[in-house]
A and B are shown apart, each in its own frame.
Chain A
Amino acid sequence: MKTEVSPQKKVIIIPCSGIGKAFGSISRDATYEVTENLRKDSTQTLCLALLVSGDQESLQLVRNNKCITVDGCPLQCAEKNIKIAGGDLASSFRVVDVYKENRHLKPRTITFLDPDGQQMALVLAEKIGKKVDGLLRNQ
């Protein structure tokens, strides 16, 4: 899997992609909403496992660009691993915080998000998008 490195500085969005709970799927879905739709020209994602495995290209990417992590559970693997990698961590999001603000949403499925899970991902993606805009304004 090739880590695409853009010559232009981008904000790197890194979800935890936790596979055991809906919040992990929401972190991933929100990341794709930002990188494939809302801010596709100014953001990209990368493989967290590849980064943690020590891939040099991935390490350079997180060290040379602003990073936003998106974690699904309190263990916060994405945030911790970006710090360990020496990445330029600009902001961290937790799905649980979005849940606390939107308690009417009850995401239950993991493999394919149900409508509540999709909605929560969209809410989170909007927040991430605004943070990206702020980071780019300050560069």
Chain B
Amino acid sequence: MMAAEKKIGIISCSGEGCVEGTISRIATRLVLEKLRPKDTVTICLPLFLAGGKEERKFARDYPTITVDGCNKMCAKIATERYSGKPASSIIVTNFNDSQCPQLISRRKLNDEALNVTRKVADRIVEEVDDVLRHWV
């Protein structure tokens, strides 16, 4: 049963090892802060994985969108394992055709990475709006 209040959980991978992890994180934050602040919340993935009960309950009761940096899909797999199938799953490497380029700083995104970040954020927004449209 869906909860009454319409909130969608955006679960980003932490992805410290690759620039795509930073992109997934910043795209998620952009949606939370600027693009859909009233409709979305986020969950700390390491806390979720470590057994955070409130986080897992939220992800069971509310629709979620996972945002993973790479095809290991830690966020999607963890959400499916501990709470349920996400409404949608996004993988950053599908947007930039790269796999963990170590030459790009993971700390300060360059213009190319920021461009990918905006595309990922826009895609998250599309998925959020779609979930809201079909919310029963």
Question: In the complex, are the beta carbons of A50 and B102 less than 8 A apart?
Answer: no
B17 — which chain A residues lie within 8 A by C-beta? 1-4, 45-47, 50
A93 to chain B, nearest CB (A): 15
List residues of B (1-33) whose CB comes within 8 Å of A's CBs. 12-18, 20-21, 25-26, 28-30, 33
Candidates B42, B69, B106; contact of A19 at CB < 8 Å: B42
For the complex, give the distance between the alpha carbons of A47 and B49 in Å: 13
B131 — which chain A residues lie within 8 A by C-beta? none
B49 — which chain A residues lie within 8 A by C-beta? 49, 52-53, 81
Question: In the complex, are the beta carbons of B44 and A1 less than 8 A apart?
Answer: no
**What mask results when residues 78 to 92 of chain A are scored 1 for a CB within 8 Å of chain B, else 0?**
101100100000000
Instruction: Please count how many residues in chain A sit with their CB below 8 Å of the partner chain's CB atoms.
Output: 36
- Whether B87 is near chain A, meaning CB under 8 Å from some CB there, is no
For the complex, give the distance between the alpha carbons of A46 and B72 in Å: 14
For the complex, give the distance between the alpha carbons of A12 and B11 in Å: 25
B70 — which chain A residues lie within 8 A by C-beta? 1
Interface-centre pick from B29, B33, B42 (highest chain A CB count, 10 A): B29
- Whether B50 is near chain A, meaning CB under 8 Å from some CB there, is yes
Question: In the complex, are the beta carbons of B105 and A53 less than 8 A apart?
Answer: no
Interfacial residues, chain B to chain A (CB-CB below 8 A): 12-18, 20-21, 25-26, 28-30, 33, 42-47, 49-50, 52, 69-70, 72, 74-75, 77-78, 99-100, 102, 105-107
Report the 6 A-B pairs with minimum CB-CB distance, sorted nearest first: A32-B107, A1-B70, A111-B29, A17-B14, A49-B74, A77-B46
